[in-house]
Structure 1
Amino acid sequence: MTHPEYILTLSCLDQRGIVHRVSGFLAEHGCNIIDSAQFGDAESKLFFMRVHFALEEGAVGDAPLRADFAALCTQMGMNGQLHDAGTKPRVMLMVSKIGHCLNDLLFRYKSGLLPVEIPAIVSNHMDFYQLAASYNIPFHHLPLATGADAAAKQAQEARVLDLMHTHKIDLVVLARYMQILSPGLCEAMRGKAINIHHSFLPSFKGAKPYAQAHHRGVKLIGATAHFVTGDLDEGPIIEQDVERVDHAMDADTLSAIGRDVECVVLARAVKWFVEHRILQNGDKTVVFK
């Protein structure tokens, strides 16, 4: 017989007895801890915790467990969540004309390496509608002309929000979606949208960053995955990685290496999000790997 499994996450002001209270609560409710991680931040004075557990006593149901956990959070001033580990989060992918991250995420999804449901792919171009069709995922073409006015942009973003609500989206992934989001949309996606970009920002902005990097003789290239905020490319960082390069590599080789790093970094960030391993700590993140 398999038992239902949950993932508990919490953050609160650091204080004595948190681990004792939480583990005691789980024991009292017939739960067995599978794995647990915690971190106390000396700077912010906050405590973070993630517990994966199984509910082994049939006498305790889902609703009473959630109600009692909410009461515990109130008593201890905790910001806590209880996630059903058997439920796959629903992810919407957004892309423009560069498809390596989209292709990588779809392969991981189809292979069972990424425990998600993907009910929608959104793009401002038509380049990847056939790729979406090959995975039997609805493709939504939401064009936005170059130089479009504020009204057109607002209407396009309203359709993005409508898709999020219609499909009950838990996470939006900007898999190289090359449009600047409005402050309103960023706020609506707060804490549930992840972006990826190369490591050259802010040094090499604009077109052909890898050509610029090659011209300057860079020795490290990489990528950053972060939460989306109204501060362009400056949201809380989730994951980063780099690869060494050298003088013998041309700009195309650097670009190919950069694409690989972007795919890996974004996939890690998405996987950690859907496994409820990321907790925000002000402008930073705590990631329980």
Structure 2
Amino acid sequence: MTLEAKHVSFSIHDQRILKEVSIQIKENQFVGLIGPNGSGKSTLLKNMYRLLKPESGTVLLNEEDIFQQSSRAIAKKLAVVSQETPVLFDFKVKDLVSMGRTPHKKLFEMDDKEDFKIVKEALSQTGIAHLETRSFSSLSGGEKKRVMVARALAQQAQVLILDEPTNHLDIQHQLQLMDLIQTLHLTVVAALHDLNMAAMYCDQIYVLQQGSIVHYGTPEEVLTPKLLRDVFGVYADIQTHPLTGKPYLTYVSEQFTKTT
């Protein structure tokens, strides 16, 4: 299943946040969005999962306008893990993950053995089976993030949108989560803060700056010293990691780049 934004523009209070942005995520491709804070990454994702509506342009899910489809139909195809974890009431972890089955159920239809199996697998995949009876409010930020990923897995969508998925996670769980997402063979688009994570896991990377796409391509094509200086204002040494074969960035303070 594919996901595409075509010439998407969006403004808030007459301030243009997105300017004719186009990105394409092919089936089973892992695409990363990178850019400085305020560049429009989260706003673009919100337009792509219908939390916001573009003032112009279109978003296509499997070549169909996402705004011409019902919420239920979209939820069967597309799952979202946002930066925030907006849960209005306190639920047990297993109950919250079970909500991922809602798009597949009729009104008032109860969960059956297959639903319970899917939820159990989602809890196990994300490493939180031991938390299933805990209340959501009692969890750490990282644990909450994994619960929301488990709910998305229980949804069994073919497209996954992630907004800073590794926020609040320690490095072990960051890698475990990204490994898991990569092995699911879903169509994935993720806003990522950690450029080394983007380099390691993404097939393609789009770079946003002030609401526009300024570069896109493979990690090798995108992550260059010049782009990092121009877009992020930082100096970096970029090497090929001997284990992953992917670019690996080491940031360098500007004081070490000055010649005497």
State the TM-score, normalized to the length of structure 2: 0.30
| Higher Rg | 1
Higher helix share: 2
Relative contact order (alpha carbons < 8 A, sep ≥ 6): 1 or 2 greater? 2
